[in-house]
A and B are shown apart, each in its own frame.
Chain A
Amino acid sequence: MNLCFFTSFFAQAGNGLGEYAGTYSAKWDAGAYEGGLFFAGLLKWLLLATEVPSSVPLAGTLNGVLGSLAPLVSDGSIFPELGALLITIGVVFGFVNVFAIGAVWSERKVSAHMQCRLGPMEVGPHGLLQTVADGLKLLTKEDIIPRLADKPLFALAPAIVFAGVLMRFVPLPFGDKLIASDLDLGLFFVAAVGAVEVLGVIMAGWASNNKWSLFGTIRTATQMVSYEIPIGIAFVTVILCCGSFSLMEIVNQQGGSLAATDGYPYQGWIWHWHLFRNPFMPILAIVYFIASLAECKRAPFDLPEAESELVSGFHTEYTGMRFALFFLAEYAAMYLVAAVAVVIFLGGWWSGIYPLDALGMGPDATIYTKTLGLLIKLGVFLSKAFALVFVQMWIRWTLPRIRLDQMMYVCWKVLLPISLVCFVGSCLWELASGGASVFGFGIVVE
């Protein structure tokens, strides 16, 4: 990793954001409500159409504020976009936090039930509020910075790690139309921003001035940089098959957009998923899943935090909220890699059952079926992602940890060759079949 890489990365990221801003306003002008525009539309509707009932205290003032904002909205001023952006950020941030709380709880429950225990039972029903209590405890804890630590780096590191993970949520859909921003370079963005996390981890370990943290850092950097390569090849293969970097587009193609008839834009079944697109894809999906475990430092690749060897790895010296940020980032990354797997291999929000997927998509859709359809797609997407997160937990509580040299061996001598073979195989398959899948229902890329 050198300076050149970062320069090009930030340039690319900047381009992506520029693209984002461009498409965003264009789509909003066109009246679409895709992605963050969903919230923009909602906000617009609230500002233009809402009248606060007079029974509400301060109704006059509120209506006055709304009234004064309405013209700004209708003449297309910046406010709704900005507001929508803020709401989108809030929703993603909120989701990450709520997910982390739920995931920590379920991790403890899953592990407990795998280990003949009950897990947390005291705080709330079945210990549901235990994580909230733990979070409060972490918030009130003393924030200790070791005397010999590099203070600015030490303080900055958790924020960078967390921001690095959070940024990767930008192009990630949660369901049909539910996306912070449909970046044209979505999948690239996800892969590229992942490097920011490594940077934060290196900062944390180095700034801690602790030899054990340094070991954790070395391991993390080695591991994350190595495993980005099989992940990248998996991405490239999918991109090659789809002809698009956009996560929305990748998912849409798995809904069978080419088989569309009768005004229904999508007509897909489970075999339209990329997982079944060609014989190499299932192998690639497994490679991606294994590499993603390593990328988010989960067992059996939890060497960076190897409790029995390194005490706690790179975040040994962290306390209170700074520690909580690392923790949060870890769980957010768990969801993220699972969700990306769902997007690129497992059909995204498509349930794979055509009648269910078609709900609210045809020309005869009403606002109710549309809403129901969106909710079902949200549910399907989240269930798939959560199922993968469960598998991650299942693996963690079953397998021992591998050693550093074995970790490198698995990456460079097993996963990398396999993924390269799958990549070349997929290319040849696409060439030979003209873009058709195993079942002949593929999408011809123009």
Chain B
Amino acid sequence: MNEAKIRTEEMLLNMGPQHPSTHGVFRVVVRTDGELVLESESHIGYLHRCFEKCAEGNNYLQVVPYTDRMDYLCAMMNNWGYAAAVEKLAGIEVPERAEYIRVIVAELNRVASHLLAFGTYGLDIGAITPFLYAFRDRERILKIFEKLCGQRLNYSYVRVGGVTFDMTDEILADIEAFCDYFDPKIIDEYDNLLSYNGIFISRTANVGVIPAELAISYGVTGPSLRGSGVQRDLRRDAPYGIYDRLEFDVPVGSGEMGQLGDCWDRYMVRMREMRQSIRLVRQAVKDIPEGPFCDKKAYRAVKPKAGEVYKRVEGARGEVGFYIVSDGTNIPYRVKARAPSFCNISILDKLTSISNVMIADLVAIIGSLDIVLGEVDR
């Protein structure tokens, strides 16, 4: 073969929308030079279901099930964000017991969501076993939720004015048993199996470093922001519900395995948050007062006065915010959802352009941002 005719070319590679590691129907067009990613371009919208438009055609209570389907891995927090926004708009008081129940289910849901993030991140890096360990424990949480509200994924449990069903003593006992079972698992199994595995560290440390200013400028929130060392958690900084009465730490990345804000930091923030969530659940279960679990009136119909409101809660992936405009009828005039995954994934293209990223790293970065496509596209 004539050597002069041999030439190298850049290759345009279409990753997704059907790809095992894009965590849903997410498409990245990458320009590659061998294994090196030169440039990436994210394409979203394959799962668009017009949440915001649907919300304009249903009354305030009927919108709740749509919020489940945004971030289906932590539906409780989405329900809560929407319910809290409507409650603020309509001036509805939520019973004390309901606030406690909300914290319990939200934190359990956070654990379930982080478990899935942990498991799928293991899959992205090539370790299959952690995934099944995570699913084994996530299943226990889903069982508890199933007992509580008959649903395993789309709960619609947190509603305007309270929650749908009361939490029985039996379920509280189940939750305590789960906390006792789960607490040692994180260190004994997960950290041993994945977090401190040499190969895992070499794949994630120093990869996809997000400097704090960059993260803030892109509106990155949640564990992905805290991984960059920014101490920001709405549960503590803008307390809602009863979070101001509970004790918990906000774990942030410290760059202990590599640079601050790398994939390992983001991953580890989630692992540490699970422990904090269990701590919160234990406190809430201990202190839960007797009383009604919902505002029966608000439960039937809500008709806020004309006005607008923005309310945000700390979801498993960051700030879940709802901006609602009311025209005084029982149907919202406009609902805008601020989805954390949507903002978090926007940084991906920037990350591939500021650092040398290989295809395997791209997968690791997408996994460490922990996106849910249902939420990105809404």
Residues of A within 8 A of B (CB): 111, 114-117, 211-212, 215, 218-219, 299-300, 302-303, 306-311, 397-406
Query: A307 contacts which chain B residues (CB < 8 A)?
Result: 20, 126
Q: Does B171 contact A (CB under 8 A)?
A: no
Chain A residue nearest in CB terms to B204? A400
Query: A219 contacts which chain B residues (CB < 8 A)?
Result: 35
* A400 in contact with B200 (CB, 8 Å): yes
Residues of B within 8 A of A (CB): 11, 13-14, 19-21, 34-35, 122-129, 132-133, 136, 193-194, 197, 199-200, 202-203, 358-361, 363
Given A116-B133, A309-B363, is A404 in contact with B127 using a C-beta cutoff of 8 Å?
no
* B200 in contact with A309 (CB, 8 Å): no
Query: B35 contacts which chain A residues (CB < 8 A)?
Result: 215, 218-219, 404-405
Chain A residue nearest in CB terms to B207? A403
* B360 in contact with A403 (CB, 8 Å): yes
User: Can you give 24 A-B contacts (C-beta < 8 A)?
Assistant: A111-B128, A114-B129, A116-B132, A211-B14, A212-B13, A299-B126, A300-B126, A306-B360, A307-B126, A308-B21, A308-B124, A309-B359, A309-B363, A311-B19, A311-B20, A397-B128, A398-B129, A398-B193, A399-B126, A400-B125, A400-B126, A400-B194, A401-B126, A403-B358
Other-chain residue from A399, A403, A406 in contact with B127 (beta carbon distance below 8 A): A399
Query: B361 contacts which chain A residues (CB < 8 A)?
Result: 403
Q: Apart from A215-B35, A215-B359, A308-B123, what are 4 other A-B pairs with CB-CB below 8 Å?
A: A215-B13, A218-B34, A306-B126, A404-B360
Smallest CB–CB gap between A410 and chain B, Å?
Answer: 10
Query: A115 contacts which chain B residues (CB < 8 A)?
Result: 128-129, 132-133
Given A402-B199, A403-B358, is A116 in contact with B13 using a C-beta cutoff of 8 Å?
no
The docked-state distance in angstroms from the alpha carbon of A402 to that of B203 is 7
Given A218-B34, A399-B197, is A308 in contact with B20 using a C-beta cutoff of 8 Å?
yes
The docked-state distance in angstroms from the alpha carbon of A397 to that of B123 is 11
Other-chain residue from A116, A215, A299, A406 in contact with B136 (beta carbon distance below 8 A): A116
Query: A302 contacts which chain B residues (CB < 8 A)?
Result: 126
Q: Sort A-B residue pairs by CB-CB distance and give the 3 closest, nearest first.
A: A401-B126, A115-B132, A400-B127
Chain A residue nearest in CB terms to B362? A309
* B133 in contact with A400 (CB, 8 Å): no
The docked-state distance in angstroms from the alpha carbon of A281 to that of B35 is 36
Query: A406 contacts which chain B residues (CB < 8 A)?
Result: 202-203
Given A215-B359, A405-B358, is A400 in contact with B20 using a C-beta cutoff of 8 Å?
no
Smallest CB–CB gap between B258 and chain A, Å?
Answer: 14
Smallest CB–CB gap between B113 and chain A, Å?
Answer: 20
The docked-state distance in angstroms from the alpha carbon of A411 to that of B127 is 21
